[in-house]
Structure 1
Amino acid sequence: MAVNPDEPYRKQSGLLEVEDLTAGYGAAPVLHDVRFTVRPGQIVAVLGANGAGKTTLLRALSGLVEADHGRIVFDGEDLRDVKVEQMVRRGIAHVPEGRGVVTELTVDENLRLGGLWRRDRADAARALDEVYDLFPALAQRRASAGHQLSGGERQMLALGRALIGRPRLLLLDEPSLGLAPRITAQILALLRELRDRTGLAVLLVEQNVRSALSVADEGIVLSLGRVVTRNSAADLRDDADLRHAYLGF
């Protein structure tokens, strides 16, 4: 059954717990009383039309947008006063829309940026090797500059750099944007593999609703910055009225 977002929030045990979050830019809130939970090893899709507040939600969770009200709790710790640069040390990695690759640096240099803060140099080196195993295309182009990569390779590089820090929660914004369907399918399949193998939790913003629901365990639907429903991915796929009203298919 779908959860009524207007019901009083019932605290659940999760890796990430968002409680009555209101956030935006200046005096204009974009998000209004957003509430949901992400458990360890769970992929949650954030769905909605353009302008629904999906990207703002990820930016608020990673500290790039200041919350006006509510709580963001990660592994029992309130993140309201945690600085952006400390988020990755807590186990949160944010891969923004547009990928954020440093185009002047090589593939290898970009990946190593993801582990500069780590004190365990041996494990950082192992993490680098693991990323190359996950993305053989990057291993073949490790000496290539970022501007020489295809769109799919840049998305792999941004994701790989995030994984170097061994996050427990991945905030992933529009990974399929501008990519061929085959590359999108590979990236989404990798998310399932990482969830199953490492217990990684993923909060996935994805405009391709069918693709998102094919990989997600649960989904939340935003409209004008408010949660209109949250439910299992299977039930969201099967709810024709909701899909037509909010998801465009």
Structure 2
Amino acid sequence: MASLLQVEGLTSGYGPVSVLKDVSLTVERGSITAVLGANGAGKTTLLRTVSGLLRPTGGQILFDGADLRSVRMEQVVRKGIAHVPEGRGVVAELTVDENLRLGGLWRRDRPDAAKALTEVYELFEPLARRRRSVGHQLSGGERQMLALGRALVARPRLLLLDEPSLGLAPRVTAQILGLLARLREQTGLTVLLVEQNVRSALSVADHGVVLSVGRVAMSAPAARLRDDDDLRHAYLGF
């Protein structure tokens, strides 16, 4: 399986503070890669740097062979990378339909953008029932569906998803992660997933990367991280 994203020797952070230090990882095309680690390990910083929200101070970010280090954030989106940040990022004053249409604003292929919108409503039936409701009227689970749906309207090749289970009931979390697995199987979507629920993340992931204090502490197939007691205790704390 060929890689879609390669991060090599990445250093990044905020001002003079380096959060990521010499991070290297590979995300295979059509796979789900889970990024795991304690709070402050650098997981969110990794996604923000890949999406262009942060500029790296060292290393490379290669997306399908193209270096993203000097690419503006809007161009990163046009290349096929969608970022769903922690906190869901729904525009509270806009309706569900208006929020979803934001995901396709940059697209020139209007017929397919309309088709993508229809497909999202089919994937998330609660959103279809509430398409005229404004963002602040939605439940936490519905807001997460809306943020994910807006990203999918853009037809991404790589989805960066930050803490989708945060604040959600286990049943809703299972639904969202199960949807990622189906999208991977049905459409070939590639996902880089940051998730606090380690067991749930490893249940759908193909590969796991453990960050510790801004560095890669472990990189292994998800099944190995899930089933090897010594690895789990050493790197994941359970």
TM-score range, shorter chain: over 0.9
- Given the alignment of the two structures, is residue 23 of structure 1 paired with residue 12 of structure 2, yes or no? yes
- The separation in 1 between residues aligned to 2:122 and 2:106, in whole angstroms, is 22
Which residue of 131, 147, 156 maps to 2:136?
Answer: 147
Moved more, 62-71 or 233-242: 233-242
Deviation at 1:237? Answer: 1.1
Secondary structure of the equivalent of 1:207? coil
The partner residue of 1:234 within 213, 220, 223 is 223
Question: In the alignment, which of 171, 191, 197 is matched to residue 182 of structure 1?
Answer: 171
State the number of aligned residues. 238
CA drift of 1:206 comes to 0.2
Which runs of structure 2 are paired with 1:62-211 in the superposition (5 Å)? Answer: 62-211=51-200
Letter of the structure 2 residue corresponding to residue 106 of structure 1 = T
Matched, 1:49 2:58: no
Distance 2:84 2:237 in 1: 25
Contact 2:90 2:143 (8 Å CA) reproduced? yes
Higher mean Cα deviation, 12-21 or 105-114?
Answer: 12-21
Large movers: runs of 4+ above 6 Å: none
Separation in 2, partners of 1:213, 1:135: 23
Q: Distance in 1 between matches of 2:139 and 2:82?
A: 23
Amino acid at match of 1:236: L
Which of 13, 16, 22 is the matching residue for 1:33? Answer: 22
Q: Tell me which amino acid in the other structure corresponds to 2:125.
A: P
Asked if structure 2 preserves the Cα contact closer than 8 Å seen for 1:49 and 1:246, the reply is no
Asked if the contact 2:2/2:29 (under 8 Å) is kept, the reply is: no
State the distance in 1 between where 2:52 and 2:105 align: 20
1:7: which partner in 2? none
Q: Could you tell me whether the CA contact under 8 Å between 1:21 and 1:34 is conserved in 2?
A: yes
Q: Distance in 2 between matches of 1:65 and 1:237?
A: 31
**3-state secondary structure, aligned to 1:15:** strand
How far 1:13 sits from its partner (Å)? 4.3
Aligned to 2:50: 61
Unaligned runs of 5+ in 1: 1-11
Structure 2 regions of 5+ residues with no counterpart? none
- TM normalised by structure 1 equals 0.94
Q: What is the alpha-carbon distance in structure 2 between the residues aligned to residue 247 and residue 40 of structure 1?
A: 25
User: In 2, Cα distance between the equivalents of 1:156 and 1:184?
Assistant: 10
- Matched residue SS, 1:67: coil
